[in-house]
Amino acid sequence: MVCMGQTPEEVAGQKMLDSIMQNMPEDQRAMMQQMMQMGKDADAKRKAQKKEAQKAQAAKSRADQEKSVNEFYWRNRIASNKAGKFENWQHGPAEIRTSYWKRDRTKIELAIGSISASGQVTLSLPEIDRLTLKRISDNQPESERIVGNTQFELSYSKTNAGYFSTRHNVNVYVKDKRIGFMDIGNDIKPVVNLNAPCCFDKAGDGYTGYWIYTSSANSIEGTKYIDDAGGKVVCDLNFQPGWNLIMERVEGTREKPSSGIPGKGFWKDQFYTATTGMPSDAKFYFTLN
């Protein structure tokens, strides 16, 4: 039961109405009561319809927002299945390439895989002349950086180990025309959020990945705590000689008052680890130019 207080004006009006009703003939009073009840019923119906319209509008707004988010994440993108096949591949046979800069500042382009006419991805990671590789301690351009966080203080076990990274540098070619690029991950949100400067403030559990090649076994470690809102970035990389897949994983959400964005829109924890093979839940994501 809901009890709603009346204003003094409403109380006075109700007393006046009661007085008028008491002085009416019985048949007129019955008619007036019926008309008043009809008015109350009509008012209740209008309120119910307004409430349903508000609920429908809220549901439409949520659906529109979800559609807008999906359109943002999937614009010009498709994902393979976990077996590495793009079911609706329409570009014919393609080659997957990356490149790196040697110590002598010449650029080497490498084929690291292919996509068949039916959309099946096959990785063929080649051997590298390790004497051509830059040292880990050298300046790392964004496209070759091992760990993406530029503010991260890291401890290297071997600063003279050679390396190169495919981060932001896995391209797809049909003949000699670059038609787009590829990413690795288990969900569209972390794949886009972690690889696009526009999206560092968007949460979404999961990981993205990228291959690096190292000349020798080595490790990179470090932990950075993120302001007073909680959260941390943890780097725990142990590399084997040759090709390694860096897993860049995020989980949890946190608030960041300094951003001016309300709510828990930022990821909380971020972890860097390394493996030598593709995880069982990984997919390839292709973005068309």
Rounded to 10 degrees, the C-alpha dihedral 166/172/175/179 comes to -130
Give the list of residues 6+ apart from residue 233 with CB closer than 8 angstroms, or none: 149, 152, 223, 224, 226, 269, 270, 271, 272
Q: Specify the higher pLDDT residue, 65 or 173.
A: 173
Q: Specify the higher pLDDT residue, 215 or 203.
A: 215
Write down the number of H helices and E strands in the chain: 3, 15
* CA atoms within a 13 Å half-sphere pointing along the CA-CB vector of 66: 6
What is the per-residue pLDDT for 102?
86
The string of pLDDT tens digits covering residues 221-256 is: 999 887 666 788 899 999 999 999 999 999 888 776
Cβ atoms of 167 and 143 closer than 8 Å? yes
User: How far is Cα 136 from Cα 160, in angstroms, rounded to an integer?
Assistant: 6
The string of pLDDT tens digits covering residues 54-64 is: 777 777 767 66
What is the per-residue pLDDT for 149?
63
Q: Is 41 exposed, middle or buried (0-12, 13-18, 19+ CB in 10 A)?
A: exposed
The end-to-end CA distance of the chain, in Å, is: 62
Other CB atoms within a 10 A radius of the CB of residue 271 amount to 15
Cβ atoms of 269 and 250 closer than 8 Å? yes
Which alpha helices (DSSP H) does 194-252 contain, by range? none
Q: Is 54 exposed, middle or buried (0-12, 13-18, 19+ CB in 10 A)?
A: exposed
Two structure tokens written together for 174: 């049909």
Identity at 68, one-letter amino acid code: S
What is the per-residue pLDDT for 1?
43
pLDDT band at 289 (very low <50, low <70, confident <90, very high): very high
Cβ atoms of 222 and 235 closer than 8 Å? yes
The string of pLDDT tens digits covering residues 176-203 is: 999 999 999 999 989 998 887 666 667 7
User: How far is Cα 100 from Cα 144, in angstroms, rounded to an integer?
Assistant: 8
Does residue 208 register a pLDDT over 80?
Answer: yes
The string of pLDDT tens digits covering residues 68-112 is: 777 888 999 999 999 999 998 999 999 999 998 888 888 999 999
Cβ atoms of 225 and 235 closer than 8 Å? no
Instruction: Compute the Cα dihedral for 142, 148, 154, 157 and give only its sign.
Output: negative
Average pLDDT over residues 5-25: 69
